[in-house]
Structures are given as C-alpha cells and as structure tokens.
Structure 1
Amino acid sequence: MSIQVSIICPTYNEEKYIAKCIESIIAQDFPIMQLEVLFVDGRSTDATRSIIANYQQQHSCIKLLDNPEKIVPFAMNKGIANAQGEIIIRIDAHSFYPTNYVSVLVSQLVSLEVDNVGVVCKTDVLNKNKKTLAIREVLSNPFGVGNSLFRTGVDEITEVDTVPFGCYRKDVFQKHGLYDTRLIRNQDIELNKRIKRGGGRIFLIPETFCTYYARETFRGIMKNNFQNGKWNILTVYHTKMFDSLSLRHFIPMFFVLSLFFPLGASLFYFPFILLGAFSFSMYVMLVGILSLKLSLSKEINFFYLFSSFISLHVSYGIGSLAGIFNVLFKK
C-alpha cells in the first residue's frame, strides 16, 4: 500500500513535550519514505523551534513551517495547504504515539472508506508525584471529563460524532471545508460535526491509542479549563450551531449557575440561598464519596483528588459564564 501521508502538528512553546512527541513519530512502523511531518510553529519563544530544527537535520521527512497567527486552525490550514500526502493526520505536541499509530489509522481509513478515523486518547503526566497522579486520574474519569467514547474506550470499531485529532483523506477538506479560523478552541470537534452534517462518517478504532500529557498543576488545569468552558459558548456563537458541541460540555456551567443564581436572588429574598447551599452540599458530598473510593481503590491522595475535581469543574463552569458575558457585551 503505497500511500503518502502528511502528519501536521501545531506547536507553540512546547519545549517540555516536543522531543518526546517527535521521537514517537520517527519510531513509527509506517514506511518513512511515504511520510512527511509538518510542524507548524506559532513563533515559539522557548526552545521549541531549535529542538525541531535539530531533528530536522537528522530526518528529511521533518519540515518546519511558520504560523504568525499562532493559533491551531491557522496552523492546520497552512499545513494542509503545504501537505504532499493523500492522507492528513493531525497530532498534538503534548502527546505520545505508539509505533503502530500511523499504520493502523491509515489502514483503517482506507479499508473502511470513511472520512475520518481516530483512537482512544489516554491521559498521563510527564512527572509523576502525588498531585500529578491525582490530576491524571480526574482527567481520565468520566465524572471529571464526561463520557466521550474516545476517553472511555471501545472494544470494536465504532461510529462516533468526533475523535481527538484525526486521520482524514485530504479531499475531505475540499468537500467539507478547512478548519474554522475563528475558533481558538474546539476546532476539531467543530470540523467533525460539520463533516457529519455533510453526510460524512467518523470511526473510533480500538487497535491503537495516543497518550496526552496533561498539565500538572491546579493553576494549569484551571487556566486550561476556563478557556475550554469559555470557548464552548463562543463556538456556538460563531458557528450558530448548538450541535457543534454536546450537552456534556455545558453541565459545569449549569452547576456554577446553581450556586451563583440563588446567591444573587438571596439579596432580594434570603431563603433562595438555601437552594445554592443544597446544590453545593450535594456536589461536595458526591465529589467526596468518589474521591474517597478512588483514593482507597487506587491508593491516590484524597485531598489532591478532591481538589482536582473542584478545580476542573468550577473553572470550566466559570469559563462558560465568561463566554456568555463576552457574547452579550461584544461590540
């Protein structure tokens, strides 16, 4: 099967992760002569570009492109425009890929004759300690991040609405359009939803996987998930499509509203505060029970588990509210 494949990886200040990502790509069992790897960099200010350049000297398949706009959709569109391959694989610099990653995706894309295939994305951390192991557990738990199949896993090839990253035939972008450059987050989900609306098919493949390296501090989790929550709202606003996302993306916002709304209403009628107190108590009890079970069964620090759940959900929900305010007061 002589198929040319272009791997596209947007980068910006990824010096902690980029070498591990590149090592996993050049170790693929897919024929190297049929592969090109395009790193589209947003003018990193750390050592990312020099690390890529060092590998570029050793491997002719690696190319470095400039992305002055810095954000992912511009990087992907520039990569697609420069790609020589018939198949496009979008990867992330925060991730590691097993040796059969490319070969399995390409084989299944061809045999299934569909528009996009992807794999389960496992969450891990580079530096393992009590805090980071708790963060990893929460970011792998359905209560923490939802019940997407690409997180929980599948035992057989399954048709889905979206996959992380993705392996596409290049002509898919001619048929369904490129990445939406208005979206700083959710570009992959929006593109996949657009493919589905256009009659395309997307499948999740169980034969391989990828590993995503999560942020390792509460501040990092909160900052990242605040932006995720905010861009859920802005994605709907820009696309004018509620089905660009799923209901699970808005649950943290409803939880935070269940706290803030009674608090505000209590200024006019104090007993309303009891509703907020009830919601908060039920949530804390649920998180406490789940954290205790995980702590006992997996020997992970209870305090860090409890704090990780709250950091994730509250920052995500507040981010969604910030997105609403951004839309309402946008000039």
Structure 2
Amino acid sequence: MPAQSPAVSVIMPVLNEERHLRNSVRHILEQEYDGEMEVVIALGPSTDRTDEIAAELVTETADSARARVQTVPNPTGRTPAALNAAIKASKHPVVVRVDGHGMLSPNYIATAVRLLEETGAQNVGGIMHAEGENDWERAVAAAMTSKIGVGNAAFHTGGEAGPAETVYLGVFRRAALEQQGGYNEEFIRAQDWELNFRIREAGGQIWFSPELRVQYRPRPSVRALAKQYKDYGRWRHVVARFHSGSINLRYLAPPVAVSANALGLVVGLALTPWALIVPGGYLAAIVAGSIPAGRGLPLKARLQIPLALATMHMSWGVGFLTSPRSLARKVIASRRPAVQQTA
C-alpha cells in the first residue's frame, strides 16, 4: 500500500435495513485501510428503524478521526436516485458502493484501490458471497452460489480475474462517475449494468476480481425472494430491449423453463399425462442439483434448496415474460449517450 492512499467515499442506498445496517457500517469502519474515509447513507422512506439507526451512527462517528457517517434524503426510495444523491454529497476520488445488507471483507477497500491502480480500470468489483443466518437463508445462499441456480455468473460463483461487462456493486474512480453523469434513474433495477455499459462504450474498463468479496444476506422469505427475482427478470428484459446484443442463453433459460413447465402442466392435465414429464423432469433436476449445492449444510437447510431454486427460476422467468414493452420504451427514451474521455 502506498504511503498516501487515496481518500475513499463509501455510498450506501438503504431502505428498511434495520436488521443489517449497523453491522454493514461496522464492516466499513473496520476496514484495513490507511486512507481517509467517509460514509454517506442515502435514506429512503423506511417503515422500520433504519433512520433511527442511521442517526445513531452519525452521532457515534461525529468525532471520529477514522471515518464519519453522514446521511442524505432519498424521498423516492429508488436505488439509482439514492446512489446519485450520495455521490453528490460525497467528495473523495474513489467511490465505493455498498448496500445496507452487504458486509465488506476486511481488506476489500485496500484491495480494490490497488486493483484500480494496477489495471487502470474505471470500476472494479468481485464476488457477491451469499451467506444466510437461518436455515431458509442458508438454502437461498446455496442456490445463489450454485451454477444450477445462477448459471456461470462470475460474481456469484467465482472465476478468473479479468475484464467484465458488469460487476457486483463496484469501486469507481469518481472521475468516471462524474463523466457519465452518474446512474440513469429510470433503471429501477439493472442500473449497475447500464452505467457500466456507458463506461465501456466510452472506452473505460470494468474489472472483475475474485479477490474482492462482499458477504450478502439473502431475502428472509419465499415471498421476498420471489419479488426480488421477478424484478430481476422484468428488468433484464428491459436491458435486452435497451441493448439487443446483451442477451444470452443463461438469461433465456428461466423464461423457457416457465413456458415449458406451464405448457407441460396444461397439456398433461387436459390431454395426455405424458406431458407431465416436462415439469416432473424439471423438479427432478432441481432436486438433484440441490444435493451438491447443499453439502455441509444442516438437513433443514438442504431440504429447502429445491424450493429456493424453483422460486428463483420461476419468478425470474415470469418477470422476464411479463415485462411490458412500455417500460422498455420509457427507459430507451431516457438513454444517455456515453461521454467520451477528453484528451
């Protein structure tokens, strides 16, 4: 680490994060980093104790020489608006995005700053390492870190360091964020992908490294997980319409599975039971796939992995299939051209 490490701004969009916010901020404040830091929390309209906890953190760090916490309002509750508000309120040359339920590994910031310097990238990111605190969350974490659950996505399952289309969260050069005008606030989801797309269009590099790990807390219920993945699928279809070259077989697998299973059930019940082979085969596949995914977990967690997998696949697929063209047209109309770097 060089003698003069660059100062870092950590930005956090939060909404209803009373369960994890204090622990997430603790992981930031305890970073093994010798540069100056600040933490800017953008507060959405939470209905739990998130605002109260954030206010306590501001008071507790007011006299800190290590890093101070400040807050900014985000009345819309939208993630990209929160990120832009926090960027505007922050000041340092390196900007680290952290979510309110993410826990940074101890050397995350130091490693990211080193990688920015070594690679010349505009944004670096790593692995979204899902870890649960109860049996259901452990089941979801196993599903989210398995190839049967998320395919070959490097930021879920790991992979070799190198250039990437997008990364989880991200550690940015402020100059790149300001050059592109921040996040496009029409992208309620997939805003990371869209911003990284503009950075790449402008000639910048996005860099993935498995050295960077963020502990992620999964959604605490089937309903919450289903909503999360339905939103993912809905907005991935928006991205596909926004940029036609961005779709691949991994993204098409869930909507194909939803369509095939639905057709198999209808035909099987109405015409011939042979058609039930399709949904039966899918069920057998996720049960078989859950066995290696659940190694080392308690029995109750292992038994819930097939439910987590089916919830993720089916919700993502339904979201993709039902994503309205009107939403894509609205987002496309807000398209921001990539701003090229000036000489």
Using structure 2 for the length normalisation, give the TM-score.
0.85
Does 1:319 find its partner at 2:319?
Answer: yes
Which of 130, 143, 150 is the aligned partner of 2:148?
Answer: 143
The answer to whether 1:4 aligns with 2:7 is yes
Deviations 1:264-283 (A, max 9, x none): 7899x956x855x3432321
Q: CA deviation at 1:255?
A: 1.1
The aligned runs of 1:1-331 (5 Å cut-off) are: 1-31=4-34, 34-60=36-62, 61-125=68-132, 127-129=133-135, 131-154=136-159, 157-237=161-241, 240-244=242-246, 246-261=248-263, 270=271, 277-294=276-293, 298=297, 300-301=299-300, 302-324=302-324
Aligned counterparts of 2:106 and 2:291: Cα–Cα separation in 1: 37
Q: Once the two structures are superposed, what CA deviation does each residue of 1:205-252 show, in whole Å capped at 9, x if it has no partner?
A: 233311110012222211211121122223344xx2134565423321
- Would the aligned equivalents of 2:144 and 2:156 in 1 still touch at CA under 8 Å? no
- 1:3-24 deviation line (CA, Å, top 9, x unaligned): 2211110001100010110110
Q: What is the Cα deviation at residue 195 of structure 1?
A: 1.8
Describe the shift of the 1:296–1:167 C-alpha distance in structure 2 as closer, same or farther (beyond 3 A).
Answer: closer
8 Å CA contact 2:131, 2:217 repeated in 1: yes
> What are the Cα deviations for residues 1-48 of structure 1, in whole angstroms up to 9, with x where unaligned?
24221111000110001011011011012236x111100011222111
Deviation at 1:51, TM superposition (A): 0.7
What per-residue deviation string (whole Å, max 9, x for no partner) do you get for residues 36-64 of structure 1? 11000112221111111111112132110
Q: Contact 2:264/2:278 (CA < 8 Å) preserved in 1?
A: no
Cα distance between partner residues in 2 of 1:76 and 1:198: 21
2:167 is paired with a residue whose SS is coil
In 1, the alpha carbon distance for the partners of 2:174 and 2:77 equals 23
Q: What is the aligned-residue identity percentage?
A: 26
Q: CA RMSD in A?
A: 2.7
Equivalent residues of 1:190, 1:244 under 8 A apart: no
What is the CA distance between 1:298 and its match in structure 2? Answer: 5.0
Query: Counterpart amino acid of 1:290?
Result: G
Q: Which secondary structure state, in structure 2, belongs to the residue aligned with residue 181 of structure 1?
A: coil
* Secondary structure of 1:40 counterpart: strand
The verdict on how the C-alpha distance between 1:198 and 1:308 changes in structure 2, with shifts beyond 3 A counting, is: same
Structure 1 residues 323 and 98, CA, compared in 2 at 3 Å: closer, same or farther? same
Does the aligned pair in 2 maintain the 1:226–1:320 contact within 8 Å? yes
Distance 2:180 2:248 in 1: 20
Between the two proteins, the alignment pairs up a number of residues equal to: 321
Deviates more, 1:298-307 or 1:112-121: 298-307
| Equivalent AA in structure 1 for residue 29 of structure 2 | I
Provide the C-alpha distance between the structure 2 equivalents of 1:20 and 1:245, rounded to a whole number of angstroms. 36
Unmatched 5+ stretches in structure 2:
63-67, 331-343
Aligned-pair distance for 1:97?
Answer: 0.9
Deviates more, 1:9-18 or 1:105-114: 105-114
Distance 2:195 2:246 in 1: 8
**TM-score, scaled relative to structure 1:** 0.87
